[in-house]
């Protein structure tokens, strides 16, 4: 599955509106498969309980032409936003592999009640895409920061140049990686910059974005045969700091005798 998800990085796009994508509907089997697939994804933090609900888009405030909306729920624990971003992006890429288009919808609201002891966090709109030409043809033409803007230190071919294409709220790309023998992933906020997001929501959505970015990082490292040990750090959403550490990766390189620290 990891390799399938990695390959979908190059295909996925955010459908800001679903137009001219065909008239096919998402089948009941596909809806069941989404639930089943989600339960098999690897969480960033196994100690945080999450769930998804799939409802018709008309039952939400999202009006982008989607057929359904996937509602993501979570316990509110330390790191829950990064965790939901990490899991949600796996589902996002999985749906692309099933020819189902997606749109992370950050300002989504639903009339659905809290699910057990979990609260609604975020949603994305989905719709069947009958023509693959509607997906991204050349990812490298997407508007993203350069590698030099998001990565300090020695670059890792096939990783540094790919992780920057992770989706983020308002395309804010709130991340910075420092390679000092190990990779340190920071939530980055340029002073005075927040785009069109409400000031009190920036750190909320950007912590979800960091989870998405870490998902891309894990997929790219594994695809390129780089072993790693990952340590997560608490991020309470402090808006006064320009850089907040979220994760460190201790990397391994391969030699004839196996992986060794490097």
Place 136 in a pLDDT band, splitting at 50, 70 and 90. confident
Q: Is 33 exposed, middle or buried (0-12, 13-18, 19+ CB in 10 A)?
A: middle
pLDDT at site 216 = 98
User: Closest Cα partner for 88 from 238, 213, 232?
Assistant: 213
Mean pLDDT for the stretch of residues 52-64: 94
Place 100 in a pLDDT band, splitting at 50, 70 and 90. very high
- Euclidean distance between CA atoms 235 and 231, whole angstroms: 13
Place 114 in a pLDDT band, splitting at 50, 70 and 90. confident
% of the chain residues with pLDDT over 90: 73
The encoded tokens of residue 67 equal 């057929």
Q: Say if residues 189 and 239 touch (Cβ distance below 8 Å).
A: yes
Mean pLDDT for the stretch of residues 141-164: 93
Query: What is the length of the chain?
Result: 262
User: Closest Cα partner for 252 from 244, 243, 260, 242?
Assistant: 260
pLDDT at site 132 = 79
- Euclidean distance between CA atoms 29 and 204, whole angstroms: 33
108 compared with 221, residue with greater pLDDT: 221
pLDDT at site 177 = 98
User: Is the pLDDT at 118 greater than 70, yes or no?
Assistant: yes
pLDDT at site 258 = 44
pLDDT at site 200 = 76
pLDDT at site 135 = 78
208 compared with 238, residue with greater pLDDT: 208
Mean pLDDT for the chain overall:
90
User: Is the pLDDT at 4 greater than 50, yes or no?
Assistant: yes
Mean pLDDT for the stretch of residues 166-174: 92
pLDDT at site 119 = 92
User: Is the pLDDT at 259 greater than 70, yes or no?
Assistant: no
pLDDT at site 257 = 43
- Euclidean distance between CA atoms 213 and 187, whole angstroms: 10
User: Closest Cα partner for 173 from 159, 194, 158?
Assistant: 194
- Euclidean distance between CA atoms 79 and 207, whole angstroms: 8
């Amino acid at each position: 599955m990891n390799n399938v998800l990695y390959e979908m990085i190059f295909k996925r796009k955010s459908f800001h509106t679903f137009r001219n994508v065909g008239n096919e509907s998402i089948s009941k089997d596909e809806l069941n498969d989404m639930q089943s697939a989600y339960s098999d994804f690897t969480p960033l933090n196994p100690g945080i309980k999450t769930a998804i609900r799939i409802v018709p888009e008309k039952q939400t405030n999202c009006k982008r032409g989607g057929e359904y909306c996937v509602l993501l729920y979570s316990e509110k624990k330390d790191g829950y936003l990064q965790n939901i971003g990490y899991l949600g992006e796996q589902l996002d890429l999985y749906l692309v592999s099933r020819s189902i288009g997606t749109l992370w919808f950050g300002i989504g609201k639903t009339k659905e009640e809290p699910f057990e002891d979990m609260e609604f966090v975020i949603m994305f709109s989905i719709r069947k895409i009958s023509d693959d030409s509607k997906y991204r043809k050349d990812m490298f033409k997407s508007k993203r920061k350069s590698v030099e803007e998001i990565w300090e230190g020695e670059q890792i071919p096939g990783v540094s140049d790919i992780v920057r294409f992770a989706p983020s709220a308002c395309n804010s790309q709130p991340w910075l990686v420092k390679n000092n023998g190990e990779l340190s992933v920071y939530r980055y906020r340029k002073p005075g910059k927040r785009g069109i997001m409400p000031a009190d929501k920036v750190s909320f959505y950007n912590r979800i974005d960091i989870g998405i970015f870490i998902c891309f990082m894990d997929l790219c490292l594994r695809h390129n045969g780089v072993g790693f040990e990952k340590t997560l750090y608490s991020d309470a959403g402090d808006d006064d700091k320009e850089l907040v550490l979220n994760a460190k990766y201790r990397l391994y390189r391969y030699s004839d005798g196996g992986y060794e620290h490097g």
